[in-house]
Amino acid sequence: MKQKERMIVNIEQFKPCLEQIVGTEALMEHEPMNRHTTFRIGGPARYFVTPRSPEQVQRVLSACRQEDIPWFILGNGSNLLVSDRGYGGVVVRIGSNLGAVEVAGERIRAQAGALLSQTAHAALAHDLTGMEFAAGIPGTLGGACLMNAGAYGGEMRQILISVTALDADGEICEIPADELEMGYRTSLLMKRGYVVLGAGLQLAHGDAEQIKARMEVLKNLRVQKQPLECPSAGSTFKRPEGCFAGKLIMDAGLRGYRVGGAQVSEKHCGFVINAGGATAEDVCRLIGDVHRIVYEKFGKELEPEVRFLGFDA
């Protein structure tokens, strides 16, 4: 209890420290997280900061560690469910504030906050192929490196040269791609809690019209098959070995299954959507129901792909 009280006192006194690092214009208090997630769900973050340089990110996290203040790195909020009561620590947004993209020959160097769509279109503008798969993924480069994002046969590990990150000690390091241990929706970065600051990508020269046409094909597939018209956090469950989560959920009779404002999409059963006024509690109950029913029917464990924030006791 004393430890908990100390943390609350510390965080209430933490504002001047954050202001000194990022400035008053880059700091918000009690910021509603439903404004910053594609689910459009989530209570307030005690502090919400938008650093403008890797060094500011490093200093903010160093201060949090020193004062034992919890922190969370936010990209585009496209794979995140925030609790209804919010988050009692510091949310550090790495988005357009750290979203520079530079192209040199067949290589791209981009900061972690660059959107994948932005980076893919920069590649297209320079007749570079290899990023078409990422053009429709609604996340940032940092999040994509962390979880080895992929779609339609492409994955980040296929194009990564290296990642610049803050290690567990808060030191900036450069990690070659062959040391990142990238697997299905995982990486060394995720396992060790590293913070991605930027990455280098290796692409190849191609035909601009063919690249554009491929991006259009994949865009149309997404529109046809995914419930992009509804707020969601993308694919809710990881793909079980040997099958697809969406098919298991559909075969379990859960198409359109609803808890409050949360619903299994009728268009694609692998997506849980905010059908209107959904709370985080609704989503969690629905995910739990889907997990239980699929396991009872097929003996398959569905593991959430969505990340959860603010649910700790």
Residues 232/273, Cβ–Cβ less than 8 Å = yes
Question: What is the identity of the amino acid at 250?
Answer: M
Q: What is the pLDDT of residues 115-142, one digit of tens each?
A: 999 999 999 999 999 999 999 999 999 9
Mean pLDDT over the full length of the chain: 95
Catalytic residue, from 162, 185, 187, 265: name it: 185
For residue 174, which of 166, 182, 186, 183 has the smallest C-alpha distance?
A: 166
310: left (phi over 0), alpha (psi -120 to 50) or beta: left
pTM, rounded to two decimals: 0.93
Residue 305 annotated among the catalytic residues of the structure? yes
pLDDT at 1: 35
Tell me what pLDDT residue 171 has.
Answer: 96
For 204-253, write each residue's pLDDT tens digit.
999 999 999 999 999 999 999 999 999 999 999 999 988 999 999 999 99
What's the whole-number mean pLDDT along residues 138-153?
A: 95
pLDDT score recorded for residue 136: 93
Tokens coding 2: 């004393």
Catalytic residue among 83, 117, 162, 235: 235
Q: Cα(89)–Cα(46) distance, rounded to whole angstroms?
A: 6
265 in active site? no
Catalytic member of 62, 109, 305, 307: 305
Q: How many CB atoms within 10 Å of residue 279?
A: 18
Q: Are 27 and 19 in contact (CB under 8 A)?
A: yes
| Rounded alpha-carbon distances, angstroms, from residue 68 to 3, 62, 130, 170, 197 | 10, 10, 42, 14, 22
87/83 Cα distance (integer angstroms): 7
| pLDDT digit string, tens, across residues 6-28 | 454 478 889 999 999 999 999 99
Domains annotated on the chain, with CATH: 2-93 (3.30.43.10), 98-210 (3.30.465.10), 228-309 (3.90.78.10)
Condensed to tens digits (0 to 9), the pLDDT of residues 276-313 reads 999 999 999 999 999 999 999 999 999 999 999 999 74
Task: Note the pLDDT of residue 241.
Answer: 87
Report whether pLDDT(259) > 70.
yes
